[in-house]
Amino acid sequence: MIKRPYLLYLGSGDDPLSVKTAQGIMTWRPDFVVGETTNNGSTITVGAKRMTISEGAKRGAKTLVLGYANGGGVIESSHLEDIVQALELGMDVASGMHHALQDHKQVEQAALRNNRTLHNVRQTDQIFKVGTGEKRSGNRVLAVGTDCSVGKMFTTLAMHKDMVARGVKADFRATGQTGIFIAGTGVPVDAVIADFISGSVEALSPSREDGGWDIIEGQGSLFHPAYAGVSLGLLHGAQPDHLVMCHQPHREHMRNLPGRDVPDIEECMEANLWAAKTVNPNVKLSGIALNTRHMDEDSAKRICMELEEKFDLPCQDPMRHGVERIVDRVLFLKHQSYSVSLADE
């Protein structure tokens, strides 16, 4: 168990997407957070109270959470001094990076010297079986995307919250470091050996007989050269009944790949449905979730309406508009399918 409250460490970048881990925690679990801190005077923020690491310790922070992400999941060498300071001041440290905290000798020694715990959330010592694709009971929704960092986690968390508010049994299944910080449990699928990715998601979302829903956080994109393997393994392991396509309109290029265009949303819909039918021939695309944070309200509403008319699907920005109509569609299709199965009997 990672001790709370957290002091969010935002690093030294200036790209808002680079601190999506911290932003996710601050958005969904603000009660977990005592404040935020940066390196070398960076002005990036997620809206928490700004403070130094020393001030965070005085205010009762129990864990310094590395709230930034970068290509390759590397702990930046310029941040090691800050990490050591937090350990010296009595905090544990939690990281969502691929590289382990204890791989850095000064960090490992500081943790041992101060009897502090190092949490590597993006690593797992769980043993998984290979996926089977065998049909299992339960209801599953998976968020998929045209690219990385387009809102898959936010969409699934919003859907989970909406379902629970309606009295529907539902569980959020975290598959990335930020989701795990928020949910307190999950599987970091991009850290699982490739042969076992689908099996790890089958274990994360097993058969359930209570009529409830597993709302599964998506990762990457089938069209991203770096992360498509994780996306496909997750898609097969999830065995989804419903897909929600996540997309950021007008993105200039795929995440971290200047010069490579974001694929057409319709092409992505078709590819994800085709791949998902490997494990569930009855899978449906049930909604579109847009990230319109770079657009004004009128433009956001207009593009949602255009996509709704084009695809005959509910289209909403979960942050601006909620996900009520997307959840309506998912639950309606489930009820419709259940009614048809009763008629067949």
DSSP assignment of 96-154, as one string? -SSS-GGGSHHHHHHHHHTT--EEETT------PPP-----SSEEEEEEESSSSSSHHH
**Confidence label for 341 from pLDDT (cuts 50, 70 and 90):** very low
Tokens 């502090």: give the residue. 116
- Strand pairing partners for 222? none
Confidence band for 340, pLDDT divided at 50, 70 and 90: very low
Residue ranges making up the domain that contains 22: 6-120
Assess whether pLDDT exceeds 70 at residue 339. Answer: no
Task: Say whether both 204 and 114 belong to one domain.
Answer: no
Query: Does pTM top 0.85 for this prediction?
Result: yes
- What's 111's domain CATH number? 3.40.50.720
Residues 56 and 149 in one domain: no
The token pair that represents 322 in the structure block: 């909620």
Q: Is residue 125 part of a domain?
A: no
Confidence category of residue 300, pLDDT binned at 50, 70, 90: very high
Using DSSP, state whether 50 is helix, strand or coil.
strand
The yes-or-no verdict on residue 259 having pLDDT over 80 is yes
Please tell me whether residues 113 and 228 are part of one structural domain: no
CA–CA dist 160, 152 (Å, integer): 12
Tell me: do 197 and 52 sit in the same domain: no
What pLDDT score does 335 carry? 67
- Check residue 337 and give its pLDDT: 60
Chain Cα centroid distance, residue 325 = 21
Claim to verify: residue 168 and residue 222 sit in the same structural domain: yes
Quote the number of domains for the chain.
Answer: 2
Cβ atoms 182, 28 nearer than 8 A = yes
The H or E element spanning position 66 is: strand 63-66
pLDDT over 90 at 186, yes or no: yes
pLDDT tens sequence across 280-292: 999 999 999 999 9
Instruction: Give the pLDDT band of residue 345 (cuts 50, 70, 90).
Output: very low
**How far is CA 237 from its chain centroid?**
16
CATH number at 173 reads 3.40.50.300
Asked, for residue 179, whether it belongs to a domain, the answer is yes
Quick check: helix, strand or coil at residue 168? coil
